[in-house]
Amino acid sequence: MELLARARELEAQGRSIVHMEVGEPDFTTPEPIIEAGRQALADGRTHYTPAMGLPVLRQAIARHYQQRYGVDIDPGRVVVTPGASGALQLLMSVLINPGDGVLLADPGYPCNRNFVHLVGGEPQSLEVGADTGYQLSAALIEQNWQDNTRAVMVASPSNPTGTMLSREELLDIYQVVQQHAGFLIVDEIYQGLIYGAEGHTALEIDDDLFVINSFSKYYGMTGWRLGWLVAPSDKIDLIDRLAQNIFLAAPTPAQHAALAAFSDQTIEILEQRREIFRQRRDYLKPALEDLGFRISVKPHGAFYLYADCSQHTNDSAAFAHDLLEQMGVAVTPGMDFGENAPERYLRFAYTTDMQQLQEGVRRIRQFVAG
Ligand SMILES: Cc1ncc(COP(=O)(O)O)c(C=O)c1O
């Protein structure tokens, strides 16, 4: 965020900046969704919805799981939230008591640790590397389960690495968590943004786990603040009561707009965008490797490459700072994602167009050439 602010500041001073730090799609929300939002406002849909969300939207989300993944979900298990962030906050509040531990991958999405802290829990970060595809594994979870551990959180595809857990890996993780009578939380916010791999959902495994998702990334709706979670039936009442207290309900116009997110017309637009992201990944990964950055596990999803930059520096934060100041290229240093050798990593986001990516690569080439 600091880097983004500095990049914007330099831009305001007239500098040309290539943005490879931004964690949201560069595309605006698809027109059918915007139109549905406009219509909702024109119709005066400006009041609260039920805390769990509009019933028609909960049904649409359940139908989406049936159509895309062949999984039957009771719409009563779908909770509409203000972004995945709202879902994460809600879940932590429901599942974690002060002193409870939550196992997390390092590197991982930085806010997760803070959500655990927020409810007085203890983030139990585990270092992950190329050997497990930068993901937690059943073995790692088994070895590191502690007396106070209550939950495990994974993200597939992951931020910052873009790597995925296979069905089998997820099933193994689920079984270990079950053996310990813990909770498994699977963040599927980058679901849909998958290239050359088969998509799946943890909901295929069992009802007894928690899935987080959002309209932010695949659906291109970051600013509308809308996400959802699917929870086991026996937790819904508690989640409902907490949601009523914490945020009352997700934004009403956004919920009406999202009803258009699953239409054929919208999906066609989103699939075209997915193809563009795939082309960008397929350009950027070899281009960075060519410059000496190492990406040892091919990322199949999201819009990030997490690259080992140790050939060029032993201080990725200083590298990112200098790259921005000298060449006008903004990237995110590893320290944003944890304490697992952050000085060796940079996250490159391909949330900007091909021309900009090529320009970024040209500038980085010049920078590393000294
Ligand atoms: C892994 C992951 N989870 C959750 C979020 C929160 O997203 P939102 O609240 O916009 O749905 C993000 C945002 O970058 C993310 O990368």
Listed residue (132, 139, 209) closest to 178, CA to CA: 209
Find where tokens 């809600």 sit.
Answer: 90
- What's residue 288's pLDDT? 98
Closest approach atom of ligand 1 to CA 108: 1
Sign of CA dihedral 161, 145, 171, 95: negative
Which spans in 104-262 are helix H? 110-118, 138-144, 167-179, 233-246, 252-258
pLDDT at 96: 98
- The phi and psi torsions of 288 (rounded to 5 degrees) equal -70, -40
Rounded to 10 degrees, the C-alpha dihedral 315/126/303/84 comes to -130
CA of 153 to the centre of ligand 1 (A): 13
CA distance 32 to 164: 30
- Helices first, then strands: H and E counts in the chain: 12, 12
CA of 84 to the centre of ligand 1 (A): 6
Pocket test for ligand 1, best of 189, 190, 228, 303 (most atoms within 8 A of CB): 189
Task: Tell me the CA–centroid distance for residue 85 and ligand 1, in Å.
Answer: 6
Average pLDDT of the chain is 97
pLDDT 10s digits, 175-201:
999 999 999 999 999 999 999 888 999
Q: What residue ranges of the chain are covered by domains with CATH 3.90.1150.10? A: 2-23+265-368
pLDDT at residue 1, rounded to an integer: 74
Cα separation, 121 vs 184, whole angstroms: 16
Boundaries of CATH 3.40.640.10 in the chain? 31-262
Distance 155 CA to ligand 1 centre (A): 10
Contacts of 215 (CB under 8 A, 6+ apart): 221, 224, 226, 227, 254, 258, 261
Element (H, E) at 183: strand 183-187
Fold of 2-23+265-368: Aspartate Aminotransferase, domain 1 (3.90.1150)
Q: What is the pLDDT of residues 44-56, one digit of tens each?
A: 999 999 999 999 9
pTM over 0.85: yes
pLDDT for 198:
87
Specify the CATH number of the domain 31-262.
3.40.640.10
What residues flank ligand 1, with Cβ below 6 Å?
Answer: 23, 83-85, 109, 155, 159, 187, 189, 214, 216, 222, 227
